């Protein structure tokens, strides 16, 4: 039986820590409770919003609906053969606890994604990624509840349609499904380590590690993340606020004439990815604030709450940055964070 709370401030359930009133709030630990919550929102004719760790969401307005915190728990595994294991977790498991549990059993594949905040159930939504790895690299399948029919459906790698911080669930499937459980195919031996990212190599060299294990990679990734990213407990934030824009080769060549030092990564399909942090720095926003919302002084891709920011203040700051980048470079920045407006 679910317990409903009315008119609660969602602030403490999100890492941005901006205040916002939700009409109804509940936490569910079973599929039956989830169904009960869906029935309640249907009866009240109110929208339903699943919530995980609240680390990729910004409430700009009060939410006149039911927020359902997904607390489905459990981790399981099945060996495929001597080389691979299927590792599964329910949606409400904390992402990094799951990564830690896999690494401690010597299951390889997720170590570069150590310490990303949030829950397992949300990881496919934006195909979380860091340090050269995305979950799509070892994702196997997921189970999701179709809200309208109440049926549980299985999604394969292909049906999730993963892209850079994108998936089916952020596009056509948005607001239609609640992810219940995710399964990854991980290695049991002959791990494929991803150490292309310069800082990982530097740290391993500093530590005199020439034959790193997946445990070593996890340690190093955690160390780098702690030194580079603002801790939401100190300054509310949701990690990268914007996606790194992808532009055509032609557009890039024109820009490079004016900005010869512009950093970039050549992609397939004649496109180039530009670090959004660099663009934001170039338009002078790094370390600056607008009211109680600011651009972090070490990582310009992260917008922070200086203490008493409202959702609108953060949103307005993002809008000002988007305009300035567009004026100077003709590039459209898009927000990675889910905006509730």
Ligand X SMILES: Cc1cc2nc3c(=O)[nH]c(=O)nc-3n(C[C@H](O)[C@H](O)[C@H](O)COP(=O)(O)OP(=O)(O)OC[C@H]3O[C@@H](n4cnc5c(N)ncnc54)[C@H](O)[C@@H]3O)c2cc1C
Closer by beta carbon to ligand X, 70 or else 138: 70
149 is catalytic: no
Q: Cβ of residue 169: shortest distance to ligand X, in angstroms?
A: 6
Q: Cβ of residue 81: shortest distance to ligand X, in angstroms?
A: 30
Catalytic: which of 165, 167, 203, 218? 165
What are residue 186's DSSP bridge partners?
Answer: 85
Q: Which residues are at the interface with ligand X (CB under 6 A)?
A: 15, 49-57, 70, 91, 116-119, 121-123, 125-126, 128-130, 169, 178-179, 229, 232, 237-239, 338
218 is catalytic: no
Q: Cβ of residue 226: shortest distance to ligand X, in angstroms?
A: 10
Closer by beta carbon to ligand X, 119 or else 290: 119
Rounded to whole angstroms, the Cα distance separating 130 from 13 reads: 24
240 is catalytic: yes
Query: In a 10 Å sphere around its CB, with 0-12 CB exposed, 13-18 middle and 19+ buried, how is residue 77 labelled?
Result: middle
Catalytic: which of 123, 141, 167, 240? 240
Q: Cβ of residue 288: shortest distance to ligand X, in angstroms?
A: 20
Q: Cβ of residue 129: shortest distance to ligand X, in angstroms?
A: 5
Q: Cβ of residue 73: shortest distance to ligand X, in angstroms?
A: 13
Closer by beta carbon to ligand X, 127 or else 290: 127
Catalytic: which of 93, 111, 181, 336? 336
Rounded to whole angstroms, the Cα distance separating 100 from 110 reads: 9
Active site amino acids = 165, 240, 336
């Amino acid at each position: 039986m679910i317990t409903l709370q009315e008119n609660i401030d969602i602030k403490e359930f999100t890492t941005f820590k901006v205040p916002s009133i939700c009409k109804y709030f509940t936490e569910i630990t079973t599929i039956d409770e989830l169904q009960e919550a869906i029935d309640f929102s249907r009866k009240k004719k109110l929208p339903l919003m699943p919530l995980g760790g609240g680390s990729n969401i910004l409430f700009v307005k009060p939410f006149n609906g039911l927020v359902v915190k997904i607390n489905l728990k459990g981790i399981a595994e099945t060996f495929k053969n001597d080389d691979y294991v299927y590792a599964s977790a329910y949606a409400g498991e904390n992402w990094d606890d799951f990564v830690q549990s896999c690494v401690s059993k010597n299951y390889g594949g997720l170590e570069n994604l150590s310490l990303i905040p949030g829950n397992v159930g949300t990881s496919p939504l934006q195909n979380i990624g860091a340090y050269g790895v995305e979950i799509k690299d070892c994702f196997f399948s997921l189970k999701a509840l179709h809200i309208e029919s109440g049926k549980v459906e299985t999604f394969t790698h292909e049906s999730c349609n993963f892209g850079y911080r994108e998936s089916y669930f952020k596009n056509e499937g948005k607001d239609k499904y609640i992810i219940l459980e995710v399964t990854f195919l991980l290695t049991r031996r002959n791990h494929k380590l991803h150490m292309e990212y310069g800082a990982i190599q530097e740290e391993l060299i500093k530590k005199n590690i020439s034959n790193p294990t997946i445990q070593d990679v996890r340690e190093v990734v955690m160390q780098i993340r702690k030194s580079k990213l603002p801790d939401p407990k100190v300054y509310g934030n949701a990690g990268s606020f914007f996606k790194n824009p992808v532009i055509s080769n032609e557009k890039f060549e024109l820009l490079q004439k004016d900005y010869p030092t512009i950093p970039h990564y050549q992609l397939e399909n004649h496109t180039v990815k530009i670090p959004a942090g660099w663009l934001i720095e170039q338009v002078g926003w790094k370390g600056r604030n607008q009211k109680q919302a600011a651009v972090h002084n070490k990582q310009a891709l992260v917008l922070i709450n200086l203490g008493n920011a409202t959702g609108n203040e953060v949103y307005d700051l993002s809008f000002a940055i988007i305009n300035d980048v567009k004026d100077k470079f003709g590039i459209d920045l898009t927000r990675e964070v889910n905006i509730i407006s």
